[in-house]
Every structure is written in C-alpha cells, then in structure tokens.
A = this chain, B = another copy of it.
C-alpha cells in the first residue's frame, strides 16, 4: 500500500477503557480516503459538489488495541476499480504492530444516489494507483 497517513491517537478517540472507540477508526479510515483523493489531485470537496462516494460494504479486523498517544500509520491501497466502484484496503499499525486491517467498496454516485461512472480523468488516475489486495 503506497499511500499512508499518520494519525496520533487523540483524547477524543478514546473510550473509558482508554483505547480507541472503534467507530473513531472508521472516521480515521474515511479521513485517509479523503487524504488519498487530495494526494491524487481529486479532492473530496470538488468531487462532492456534483457527486458522492458512499461506502457500500466494509469489513474490519481489530487486531490489537490502540492507546491515547500512539502514533498510527494508516496505509491505503486501491485493490480494484469498477465502472463506478472502488475497492480500498487499509492497514493500521503503531510501533510496528498491526492494529487493524480493513477493506471496503466505495461507490461513486450522482446527486440522485444512483451509481455514476467515474469521470475519465479520475478513473485514469485511480488506475495508476491500483495495487493487488494484500
């Protein structure tokens, strides 16, 4: 996975057990997708003026807990590109220990909520970042 984002585990992410409350991980994964689209020159704020990219399916394994202050390295790879879909995989770690792995399918939809083919320039760019699932 070629793209990565660092995210310190902040106070707001943690629950009474002192570890990341798992819905917060999904916010981080979403932030990571947004940072990736920034990185490839198609920022979410532009994409979302005429379309949206909801998540159709996601599966996650939380391998080890993360504590307040841990520095997470969240890696992201594109695993497949369909007409209007995109497969994403994430790998989150800290201090060399895997904390979570996840994979999802995003769908590019129009303002009516129906699938909409990726615009050609975006699709071409995404294809450059396609990696095998790992």
Q: Bound complex: CA of A12 vs CA of B67, how far in Å?
A: 16
Instruction: Mark the stretch among A21-29, A78-86, A90-98, A119-127 that contacts chain B.
Output: A21-29
CB A23 to nearest CB in B, in angstroms, measures: 4
Residues on A lying within 8 angstroms of B by beta carbon are 9-12, 14-19, 21-24, 26-27, 30-31, 34, 43-46, 48, 52, 54-62, 65, 67-69, 113
With A17-B48, A65-B54 known as contacts, the answer to whether A23 contacts B31 (CB < 8 A) is: no
A16 in complex: contacting residue of B11, B24, B27, B55, CB < 8 Å: B11
A12 in complex: contacting residue of B30, B45, B68, CB < 8 Å: B30
Q: Bound complex: CA of A56 vs CA of B64, how far in Å?
A: 8
